[in-house]
Each structure stands twice: as C-alpha cells, then as structure tokens.
Amino acid sequence: MIWIIEENRKKTRYIKKMVDLLKRESSCFPFIKLLSEEYKNIIKKTDKIIYFGNLNIYKKILNIKKISPGIFFHPKYFHVSEYSNFVSEFMLNKYRYSLAKDLVLKEAMFVRPNSNSKPFPGQIFSKEKWEKYKRQIASDEVVCWSSPKAIHSEYRFFVVETRISSWCLYQKNYSSKKIKDISLVYSFAKQVIRHFQPQKVFVLDICLTDNISPKIVEYNAFGCSVGYNCKLDIVAKDILESYKRN
C-alpha cells in the first residue's frame, strides 16, 4: 500500500503524527508538490494507493489507467443527490436540484454544489447575490438548495469499516451555551453509519441544530478532508489494520 500526501498538508498540525506512523508501518511518500509530475515516478499500476491532499493532484493520479485505487475518492458516491437517497430522513437540508445557470432565487437560500469536489463553497445567497455569483460557476454545474437552517455546532467523524476511528468538534456557533450530553451526537453518528456507508473509509459531518437535534450536514471523502482536531494517526492505523485483514 502506498500513501501519498500533498505538500501543503505538512503545514497543518494534525499531519505529523500520521506521517510518522505511516513511515514506520507502510510505504509513505509524504509531501508531493502541488501540481507536480513527481507522483508519476512513484505510482505503479499495481499499487494500492491512498492519497491525502489537494483534489487537483487526486484527479491527475486518477487518470493513470489501471491503478488499484485503494480508498480513493470515487466522486459519484459523494454527490449529495447520491447519498441523500439513502439518508434523507437524517439530513439537515431537504435539497432541490438544478443547473446553476437555471436557478433563480425568490428569497434567500442556502446553495451548494451537488458535487463533493466543491467548485464553490456552500453558503446563504440573497436573490441579488446569487444572480451575480452564478456567472462564475460552470453552466453545467449541478447545484442543490434549501432554506437556511440555524446550526448550534458541527462535528467531524472519520469512519473505517463502519467504526468511528476519530472525531472532533470543528465549529461552534454558541458562546456560553454548552452541550451537556455529547453522547447524543456520537449515538446519532453510529446510527447513521450503520444505516449507510458510501465507501469503506469516509468522513461524516454532523451538526446539532438550535434545538439540539442531530442532523447530517454532508459526507466527504477521506483523502480530501481536513482533519481539524481529529487524531489522524489513529485513523491511519485503523486503515492499515483494515487492509491487513482484507
């Protein structure tokens, strides 16, 4: 198994322990430069590859034919329109879909790309702001939109073979108000994971609404996800053990 880590990720605090572990336990080529050709000299068509970093390099690697992709980001599994078919009852937003060029807002809405490659960040748009913004989005880009929701806090879960490997709080929209029973979020995550897994290894983002009700924000691919304060060395160890078993 080959691990490839994009250079810019080494600047983040959660990467060092993961890289140290991978150097001991597996073949690891950390810090491939962004948009470099270096990866072509490393990858063999028979290698099982796990990539962690910028989506642009991932797309280039994926163009190398007949490689065994390991737990690469398979785009179709992480389209909102794909996974919402399985978990709509658990999701924060009930989305509608349209081409960006065809969407006309009558009131403020939360709009995001359907694709997990995220060509633009999801955000709340007024009618006027959206009309200006959509001019810079590809005309064939599918977007999804829903009414804005109030979010209390957001959590990221790294999942390996239906098991939560590591998780953390990554955003909070409250000051003095605290969550007394964090087990509510964890229990909900376990329920959702049992219900649906887009891939063997993936990232699940869950929020608490203002009335402290847990909901799915989105699914993300492992390789292109930010770790925040999650323990990525533990996640990497769980991935290695999973591959040894299989």
DSSP string across 51-103: EES-HHHHHHHHTSTT-B-TT---GGGG-HHHHHHHHGGGBS---EEEEGGG-
Choice between 64 and 195, residue whose per-residue pLDDT is larger: 195
Q: Please determine, for residue 33, whether its predicted confidence score (pLDDT) is greater than 60.
A: no
CB 158 within 8 A of CB 165: yes
Mean pLDDT of all residues in 76-83:
92
Q: What is the pLDDT of residues 85-130, one digit of tens each?
A: 999 999 999 999 999 999 999 999 999 999 988 889 999 999 999 9
Mean pLDDT of all residues in 173-191:
74
Q: Please determine, for residue 202, whether its predicted confidence score (pLDDT) is greater than 70.
A: yes
Task: Write down the mean pLDDT value for the chain.
Answer: 84
Model confidence band, residue 35 (pLDDT cutoffs 50, 70, 90): very low
Choice between 243 and 138, residue whose per-residue pLDDT is larger: 138
- In the CATH scheme, what is the code of domain 150-245? 3.30.470
Q: If DSSP codes are grouped into helix, strand and coil, which group holds residue 213?
A: coil
State how far the Cα of 212 lies from the Cα of 30, in Å rounded to an integer: 40
pLDDT for 31: 56
pLDDT for 216: 97
Q: Please determine, for residue 158, whether its predicted confidence score (pLDDT) is greater than 60.
A: yes
State how far the Cα of 241 lies from the Cα of 29, in Å rounded to an integer: 19
| Domain boundaries of the chain, sorted by first residue | 2-72, 93-146, 150-245
Model confidence band, residue 37 (pLDDT cutoffs 50, 70, 90): low
Choice between 111 and 32, residue whose per-residue pLDDT is larger: 111
Mean pLDDT of all residues in 210-226:
89
- Strand 2-6 and strand 27-32: the pairing is parallel
